[in-house]
């Protein structure tokens, strides 16, 4: 996994016979009271290693384009204009990376929350990806295609189990955060990249303490189990992770560390 291009809103990596582009949609500020212990209670004390900005947790919002010999898949789409002025930069990120959005035919959504799916529709109300053919999403989350997202409803491909999106990308259901939460594994000639949505929200805490959950998890126990299973999977040789809320560009390696795990980014963060 080697960075080959970088800008304010994107980082492109060479990954064997694949190319992976991290696209920065922006950031959201969230309350630290969303971090919960194993009983579902707000954490008594936030560790000093967790940075706050004006008392809030600042979460990057990232999407990832995986391009291979047989085509490309965009995983998540950011928030468009649905969550305020700190998000909605996905289309600018694609432009900066030199990617024609008209070339994107397949979008894979990790789950139905607005900062992952609303970018299917541009701020002006048009479709962000004019050649879109398929939107892959967990079956239990597919009801999101109403209202502003109704124009793409007929192209939704509901995911009910492990399924190949294309030759290089496979959908893996990981319910917990939402019933339809799904991660996508990209397999290249040199390794595997697991692209997740809301498996980890606060990387400075939830790798070392993976049992800390998030207040918006639909089922905290199930989400916790999914996170631990995915983190353990990522310790295998040749495995990398890309995360929607990891510090942009949000691509790294996972190792065991004490009773938890550690994340090592493969490229410096974009401020």
d(CA 103, CA 166): 15
The dihedral through the CA atoms of 76, 82, 86, 91 has a sign that is positive
pLDDT for the residue numbered 271: 64
d(CA 255, CA 271): 25
Alpha helices for 59-153 (secondary structure H): 90-96, 114-117
The answer for residues whose C-beta is within 8 angstroms of residue 98's C-beta and 6 or more apart is none
* pTM score of the predicted model: 0.96
Determine the 3-state secondary structure of 116 from DSSP: helix
DSSP 227-262: HHHHHHHHTSTTEEEEETTSSTT-EEEEEEETTEEE
Alpha helices for the chain (secondary structure H): 90-96, 114-117, 203-206, 220-234
Given this structure, which CATH class describes domain 2-265? alpha beta
71: exposed, middle or buried (Cβ count in 10 Å: 0-12, 13-18, 19+): middle
The pLDDT tens digits along the chain (271 residues) read 999 999 999 999 999 999 999 999 999 999 999 999 998 999 988 888 899 999 999 999 999 999 999 889 999 999 999 888 999 999 999 999 999 999 999 999 999 999 999 999 999 999 999 999 999 999 999 999 999 999 999 999 999 999 999 999 999 999 999 999 999 999 999 999 999 999 999 999 999 999 999 999 999 999 999 999 999 999 999 999 999 999 999 999 999 999 999 999 998 887 6
The dihedral through the CA atoms of 262, 76, 118, 221 has a sign that is negative
pLDDT for the residue numbered 42: 94
85: exposed, middle or buried (Cβ count in 10 Å: 0-12, 13-18, 19+): exposed
pLDDT for the residue numbered 185: 98
The answer for residues whose C-beta is within 8 angstroms of residue 236's C-beta and 6 or more apart is none
pLDDT for the residue numbered 118: 97
Determine the 3-state secondary structure of 158 from DSSP: strand
């Amino acid at each position: 996994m080697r960075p080959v291009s970088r800008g304010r809103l994107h980082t492109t990596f060479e990954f064997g016979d694949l190319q992976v582009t991290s696209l920065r949609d922006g950031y959201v500020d969230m309350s630290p009271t969303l971090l919960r212990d194993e009983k579902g209670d707000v954490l008594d004390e936030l560790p000093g290693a967790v940075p706050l900005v004006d008392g809030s947790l600042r979460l990057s919002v990232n999407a990832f384009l995986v391009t291979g010999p047989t085509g490309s898949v965009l995983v998540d789409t950011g928030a468009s204009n649905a969550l305020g002025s700190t998000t909605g930069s996905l289309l600018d990120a694609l432009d900066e990376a030199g990617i024609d959005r008209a070339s994107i035919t397949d979008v894979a959504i990790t789950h139905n929350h607005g900062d992952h799916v609303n970018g299917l529709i541009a701020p002006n109300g048009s479709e962000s990806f004019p050649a879109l053919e398929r939107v892959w999403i967990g079956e239990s989350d597919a009801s999101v295609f109403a209202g502003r997202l109704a124009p793409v409803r007929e192209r939704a491909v509901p995911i009910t189990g492990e399924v190949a999106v294309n030759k290089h990308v496979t959908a893996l259901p990981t319910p917990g955060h939402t019933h339809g939460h799904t991660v996508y594994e990209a397999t290249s000639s040199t390794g595997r990249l697991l692209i997740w949505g809301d498996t980890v929200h606060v990387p400075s805490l939830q790798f070392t303490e993976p049992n800390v959950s998030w207040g918006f998890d639909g089922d905290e126990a199930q989400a916790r189990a999914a996170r631990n299973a995915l983190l353990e999977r990522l310790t295998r040789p040749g495995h990398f992770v890309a995360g929607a809320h990891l510090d942009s560009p949000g691509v790294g390696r996972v190792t065991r560390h004490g009773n938890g795990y550690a994340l090592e980014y493969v490229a410096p963060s974009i401020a």
